Structure 1
Amino acid sequence: MNDIAPPQSAADLRRAEVIACAAQLLVEGGLGEITFRNLARRMDCSTTVISHHFRNKDEVVLETYRHVNARAAAMRDAALSNRAHTAVRAIEELLPISTAQRDNWAAWLHFWSAALHDPVLAAEHAVGLYQTVERVAAYLRSIGMEGDAAQGAAQAISNALYGIAIQALFDREHWDEARLRQEFRRTTAYALGPDMAARQV
């Protein structure tokens, strides 16, 4: 079986460039910044170039949401694959500590507010939440936690992750890295129990 991905076409590369630009505009100023005009200005091209690859703004927004989710999933999987950390430390790397993680969380927050009124984005949001819980649960099972216990702990940990991260986006001075790690470690350690929390993975 050939696992080598086929080369991307020029159109695929251009679409990816537009989406990457849209993701940056989103972080800088919110969903309102994602317009064909702003994208063309940032990319130094005409709006015709953008409209050649995307039917409308809604399509750009949806693809940008999927791009942000995929980027975050890759970071999540990398953190949970680090076998040099304890279970708690591996999971806490999902917090908005690095610039890249803060950008992802900021992008999500913009999308989540829009998802309240957009069924398509709401469906993407639900999938993202589900996948995060399931990935953490799979990780916990991989280090020896039983099935039901792993599922319950994963849900509790995900709840804490989202709650703490959103607070940190709004008050970065209060929620510095030390506080982020401290509060999340306390919640995660409680959900895992002392033996599992200290386990080296």
Structure 2
Amino acid sequence: MKLLHIDSSVLGPHSVSRQVSAAIVERLRNSNPGLEVSYRDLTLTPLAHLSGSHLAAGQGATPEAGLQADIAAGQIVLEEFLASDTVVIGAPMYNFTIPSQLKAWIDRILVAGKTFKYGAQGVEGLAGNKRVIVAISRGGFYGPGTPAAVGEHLETYLRWVFGFIGIKNPEFISADGIQVGPEHREKAVAGALKAAGDLNAA
């Protein structure tokens, strides 16, 4: 079994999402001694954002010399994802959505013919055999029924993205209200870490 661990927070050791994603991985590693874990920090080794040249290369054009290394890196990222059985992602909310580093990674794994395809019945996801667990952290409260729910484009976006490629039930562990105050932060982190520790490891 292979697990791919992705972090995207720019806060390093001060990151809540990193702390929770690490706890998820630890839970799964302890319960599956033979688990093979690979790790990618999207802030230490960022991927370039897509450009017209990327798209042209994807359509068969010869890549520009300066683009070849990044295209190769994107291919490695896609292969890492395809080879994994479980994917654990640390995803903080930045300005109501995912970090741009994580978006660049998503742009490299949503590839027609690899993780989805178009057919007579519409889009078919090709990655439905994977388990995806996302550790999210949000400064405020954005759950259903809250005044700010309409501004939540982190969990809702990721649910749609992974559903698009066939992963219909991604799992989320959330630490909410971490910027409201120290007590809220402590409570949110403790709750998320407990959820990580109680996670179904099967």
What TM-score, normalized to structure 1? 0.28
From the two aligned structures, give the one with the greater helix fraction. Answer: 1
From the two aligned structures, give the one with the greater strand fraction. Answer: 2
What TM-score, normalized to structure 2? 0.28
Larger Rg belongs to:
1
